[in-house]
A = this chain, B = another copy of it.
């Protein structure tokens, strides 16, 4: 399946990363933390170079007529850089996800099984034109014992080069080989990277929904991330109306571009006439455009009509679709049909209804009486977030450092063979847990 020419320099880069990462994988926590501190210091020393490179990136982007929100992301001032370096030191303080013993079991006398966490190997991380993302990603990769191949947005190329140069400079005085960090610079390399399933163990794409979907559809490497974030808030007939208004406003407006903001509000028919006018007043005060199905339009006039298309749209904007449902079962069915399995919430004082909702809704996060905007690795207390996954298999939801490790089974014996446990005089296994 690999279509990359064996002579390609990218394969060589990937092999070099893999080889140096295998040594990083077995380093002590202390050695990794020393490397992380060395990165922080090197970034501090290279501050002027990095900021100057960023000014050049910003000038070039301005000449190309970059959109204002993108420009703001691209821009790296002294303050942002200082925060990013503080973030590196925070990663140093996180618990080491490698070397955790998950299973420790005696299989028979003298035959011991352990399941121990270990790094994945090499991460491929493709991110948008936000230079400080490179700093965060590298520190998380090294803390988790992984090599990392970075590809930043093309507008940030000078900034990323200055940052990676400083990082490699910092690592050169540590136990970590600077080859564990690589920076790609062309779009062609991104496409090639997706083919390198022999050398890259996980792809984390950060960017637009369509970009993430492109990555998911064009690689055999596991992808951590999510394309859509279509989240719902269901206002049950047993809802406290004040809470239902407050939570809806937060979930829609606190940061509408976030993947955990709601797109559709489902309202039980028996509470709709009381609730919807209050909701509409609050949403209008927050400049939210409301769209609704026919039944909603009978309560809230002058609405844009919601079509089937609305139920499957992530607006990422101050727009909210509203649908009236006749039962909690209808709400759950709508969510399981149109939701992207990200985060789904119910507002109700009826505990049985809440339990039904949390049990039957299929999503990484199922919430009761709180805003969907809590779905985030930092808010969950993970200390860092490497992505949010909407897949069914773990890791799912907001993923912290533990998403960058896997495990190995280690078995240690003293000449033990399987033949001893079969046949007429078969020995028995003891299967005695030691932790």
| Interface residues of A, Cβ cutoff 8 Å to B | 1, 22, 25-26, 105, 107, 111, 113, 120-121, 201-202, 217, 222, 240, 242-243, 246-247, 249-251, 254-255, 336, 354, 358-360, 362-371, 373-375, 379-381, 391-394, 396-398, 406-419, 421-422, 429, 431
Which of B362, B366, B391, B418 is A409 in contact with, Cβ under 8 Å? Answer: B366
| A interface: dominant SS | mixed
User: How far apart sit A234 and B22, CA to CA, in the bound complex (Å)?
Assistant: 19
A375, A398, A415 — most chain B CB neighbours (10 Å):
A415
Contact A416 B369 (CB under 8 A): yes
17 contacts between A and B (CB under 8 A): A22-B360, A22-B362, A25-B360, A105-B380, A113-B380, A201-B392, A242-B415, A243-B415, A247-B415, A250-B419, A365-B410, A366-B410, A367-B410, A369-B412, A369-B415, A370-B413, A370-B416
Contact B365 A418 (CB under 8 A): no
A359, A373, A374 — most chain B CB neighbours (10 Å):
A374
User: Hey, which chain B residues are within 8 Å of A242, CB to CB?
Assistant: 415
Contact B25 A408 (CB under 8 A): no
9 tightest A-B CB contacts, nearest first: A370-B413, A250-B417, A381-B431, A373-B418, A243-B415, A370-B416, A26-B359, A367-B411, A365-B409
Contact B412 A407 (CB under 8 A): no
A90–chain B nearest beta-carbon distance, Å: 14
Which of B26, B254, B393 is A419 in contact with, Cβ under 8 Å? Answer: B254
Contact B413 A369 (CB under 8 A): yes
A202–chain B nearest beta-carbon distance, Å: 7
User: How far apart sit A56 and B77, CA to CA, in the bound complex (Å)?
Assistant: 78
Which chain B residue lies CB-closest to A333?
B19
Q: A413-B370, A417-B371 are in contact. Are A222 and B381 (CB under 8 A)?
A: no
Which of B240, B243, B373, B396 is A407 in contact with, Cβ under 8 Å? Answer: B396
User: How far apart sit A26 and B354, CA to CA, in the bound complex (Å)?
Assistant: 13
Contact A107 B374 (CB under 8 A): yes
User: Hey, which chain B residues are within 8 Å of A407, CB to CB?
Assistant: 394, 396
User: How far apart sit A370 and B409, CA to CA, in the bound complex (Å)?
Assistant: 13
Besides A107-B379, A365-B409, A396-B408, 13 other A-B contacts (C-beta < 8 A): A107-B380, A201-B393, A246-B417, A247-B417, A254-B417, A358-B410, A366-B411, A367-B410, A368-B411, A374-B411, A375-B409, A396-B406, A397-B409
Contact B22 A107 (CB under 8 A): no
Contact B105 A381 (CB under 8 A): yes
User: Hey, which chain B residues are within 8 Å of A431, CB to CB?
Assistant: 381
User: How far apart sit A364 and B222, CA to CA, in the bound complex (Å)?
Assistant: 17
Which of B105, B121, B365 is A408 in contact with, Cβ under 8 Å? Answer: B365
Which chain B residue lies CB-closest to A398?
B409
User: How far apart sit A355 and B357, CA to CA, in the bound complex (Å)?
Assistant: 49
User: How far apart sit A255 and B417, CA to CA, in the bound complex (Å)?
Assistant: 12
Contact A379 B418 (CB under 8 A): yes
User: How far apart sit A407 and B222, CA to CA, in the bound complex (Å)?
Assistant: 18
A276–chain B nearest beta-carbon distance, Å: 19
Q: A1-B217, A121-B362, A374-B107 are in contact. Are A409 and B393 (CB under 8 A)?
A: no
Contact B371 A418 (CB under 8 A): yes
Contact A406 B393 (CB under 8 A): yes
User: How far apart sit A20 and B130, CA to CA, in the bound complex (Å)?
Assistant: 46
User: How far apart sit A249 and B411, CA to CA, in the bound complex (Å)?
Assistant: 18
Contact B1 A412 (CB under 8 A): no
A10–chain B nearest beta-carbon distance, Å: 19
Q: A392-B201, A406-B396 are in contact. Are A413 and B365 (CB under 8 A)?
A: no
User: Hey, which chain B residues are within 8 Å of A413, CB to CB?
Assistant: 367-370, 374
Contact B374 A418 (CB under 8 A): yes
User: How far apart sit A368 and B242, CA to CA, in the bound complex (Å)?
Assistant: 63
A432–chain B nearest beta-carbon distance, Å: 9
User: Hey, which chain B residues are within 8 Å of A255, CB to CB?
Assistant: 418
